[in-house]
Structure 1
Amino acid sequence: MGTAACGLKAVAFSAMILIASATGASAALTFTTGKLTSGIGFILVSGSFDFDQNLSHFTRLVKETDPVFVAFNSPGGNPPKAMELGRLIRALGLATFQPRQGECASACALAFLGGTIRYAEPGAIGVHKSSFADSRGMDLDSAVSYVQHITAETISYMTEMGVDPALLQLSLKYESDDIRYLSKSEMAEYRVTTKTDKTSADLPESGNSISPPTSDVPPTTRALPDSSIPNLDARFDIPRAKTGRFRHPKGFEFLRDSPSQQGSKLGMLRNRDRVAILSISDRWYKVRVGTRIGYLHHNWVKVDQFINNQFDDRYIQIASFDNFAEAENYIRNAPLPLTAYLAANHWFAVTASGTFPAKQAAEMLKQMKAKASAPEDAFITVGNTYVRKVCCD
């Protein structure tokens, strides 16, 4: 490929970034389609991620234009919404590419991680500590629980996307008014970018479609049990979730008419409301509450068939592993008394032994981190997805 041709393609791609910049990256999220001179299609995601952003337009554009990759010009925004787009990018089989001409910082980095193949130029991806603006106005207990929930969700998402969750620990070192842009070696170390045989020019420049990754990106993990996974040890059987009680750090949430936060609200639920679980899909329960039928995120149901703990108590989660052997070895070599729980996604959560009132758990975790006896990404959780204790007496 000639130098002049490469230059024209770079100009064409840069022009899309400049167009998005002219509209203002801090505006609401927008999706713009484009093509390189080689004919490769892409979608440019611009603006800030809002919690109520409807992503159906993105899906429609993908079906209509058949793009190969997604690029970004975004300063961040709502982390759960960015993770939702990342999962959508993964489900649609799209690659992600981030040039330095654009911006992809904060929550945008989470969306970038959804790519089946990921390439970013050095200094193109920025991370920092989330501001957790959605927790403002809550009481201390609710705010702490909400922040810890989002942290747990982020760790789960990074693992699902084949990224080292230690990236979150790095981001926590930088306040929300600061940004740490990742070097090429850091992106490789934390698996922010994937290993392929393509050069930096090949992803947006190549005239060939991009093949899905092979062994470089681990398979995704599911949030809820997959009946196709065989259980070789009865300790790791996951009982069918049938009934439970609503439990949310804020004390309330809405029943939805579809398995999505964008679903219409069917009514408010408050902590301890009883639910009957009619069916299970990835990350969502279809439930009956009185005479109403709708959907609840699995994080907000304390399942009767799972482990029983005091309703208002909290766990301090230290680590998580995708296999029992590593979880057991971690506990056996830890200086603190720890416990492992089988989680509903077939992973193993390692926690400080016992459960604690929320305020006590928050203070304990603070002291543990100060003494470096718990990692910086340890967090407090209600443990709704914990199935049973599996280690160690």
Structure 2
Amino acid sequence: MKRLRPIFAVLALCCASAVGAAEAQPSGSTCPAEPNWSDNEVMELTTARRGGRRVLLAEGWVDQQFPARLQTMLDRHTDIEEIWLRSPGGDAMAGNEAGLMLRTMYSGITTRIPAGWTCAGACNFVFLGGSVRHVDPDGVFMVRMFTFSGDEALREGVTQGGGSAARASGEVEGSARQQATADVDFMIRTGISTDLLDIMYQSGNLEEGASRCLTREELRDFNVAEIRD
């Protein structure tokens, strides 16, 4: 039962953060002023040769159809050795699905955040799905609290007043709890420290501008990536 206590704490922290922004912002951020990620509304997948190896460049928002398209590309190009990620985030559940797919179906694939590129939000879970994971010097692993379309419903409900605000709040909290449960399951199944979720859920979302970028030491300590400086 001792192992379950921090997991329940993560779930509680997540739901509280989803309904209202966390008051305390994490210190030690190393985020660049202008992150280098792609604004492609749909994750663009392109094969390329880098250093004699076939790599898959994944650039843009993690959309709901991304896991299916990723699987199609990997099945079509069986010589792909690495996936290079440049993304501002996107659909949280799709990120989890893609990451678990990489870990369970494509165990030989390495994920990489190249120098100067940023992998944020839902992209984190895609990256963590790699059996081998590299963040190059000046590569950025940016964590932040996920957001939901339900947040807009919450604001509308508050404007309308009455019971609609409570219903909207309940919907957001339910979505937050579902996502947090999926995140905990992902960490356990992939062998990543669940302590990383504490950092993720204490960070702000993209609109709040309070994202947190892990240091090289944190990347190593949380088993996020193999660090070669």
**TM-score of the two chains, using structure 1 as the length reference:** 0.41
Native 8 Å contact 2:150 2:168 kept in 1: no
CA distance in 2, matches of 1:44, 1:54: 13
Q: Structure 2: where are the runs of 5+ without partners? A: 1-35, 154-166
Which 10-residue stretch deviates more, 116-125 or 69-78?
116-125
CA distance in 2, matches of 1:190, 1:108: 17
Output the amino acid matched with 1:44: L
1:75 aligns with 88
How far did residue 135 of structure 1 move?
5.3
Deviations 1:180-231 (A, max 9, x none): 1111110111111148xxx46xxxxxxxxxxxxxxxxxxxxxxxxxxxxxxx
CA distance in 2, matches of 1:113, 1:46: 16
CA distance in 2, matches of 1:95, 1:148: 30
Please state if 1:85 is matched with 2:98: yes
Please state if 1:131 is matched with 2:175: no
1:95-174 correspondence runs (5 A): 95-122=110-137, 124-134=140-150, 136-137=152-153, 139-174=168-203
How far did residue 131 of structure 1 move?
1.9
How far did residue 144 of structure 1 move?
1.1
Q: SS at the partner of 1:62?
A: helix
Bigger relative contact order, structure 1 or 2 (CA pairs below 8 A, ≥6 apart): 2
Native 8 Å contact 1:135 1:147 kept in 2: no
Native 8 Å contact 1:26 1:75 kept in 2: no
**TM-score of the two chains, using structure 2 as the length reference:** 0.69
Q: SS at the partner of 1:139?
A: helix
Output the amino acid matched with 1:30: E
How many residues end up aligned between the 2 structures?
A: 174
Aligned-residue sequence identity (percent) comes to 22
Native 8 Å contact 2:135 2:226 kept in 1: no
Who wins on radius of gyration, i.e. which is larger? Answer: 1
1:180-219 correspondence runs (5 A): 180-194=212-226, 199=228
Higher helix share: 2
How far did residue 133 of structure 1 move?
2.9
CA distance in 1, matches of 2:45, 2:222: 28
Equivalent position to 1:56, from 60, 65, 68: 68
Give the 4+ runs in structure 1 shifted more than 4 A: none
Change (3 A) 1:45 1:134: farther
Q: SS at the partner of 1:104?
A: strand
CA distance in 2, matches of 1:133, 1:181: 24
CA distance in 1, matches of 2:151, 2:60: 22
CA distance in 2, matches of 1:191, 1:106: 17
1:353-368 correspondence runs (5 A): none
CA distance in 2, matches of 1:130, 1:178: 12
The Cα RMSD (Å) is 2.1
CA distance in 1, matches of 2:122, 2:213: 13
CA distance in 1, matches of 2:130, 2:223: 12
CA distance in 1, matches of 2:41, 2:84: 17
Change (3 A) 1:55 1:77: same
CA distance in 1, matches of 2:193, 2:67: 26
How far did residue 100 of structure 1 move?
2.8
Higher strand share: 1
Output the amino acid matched with 1:188: R
How far did residue 50 of structure 1 move?
2.0
CA distance in 2, matches of 1:55, 1:80: 10
Equivalent position to 1:179, from 199, 202, 211: 211
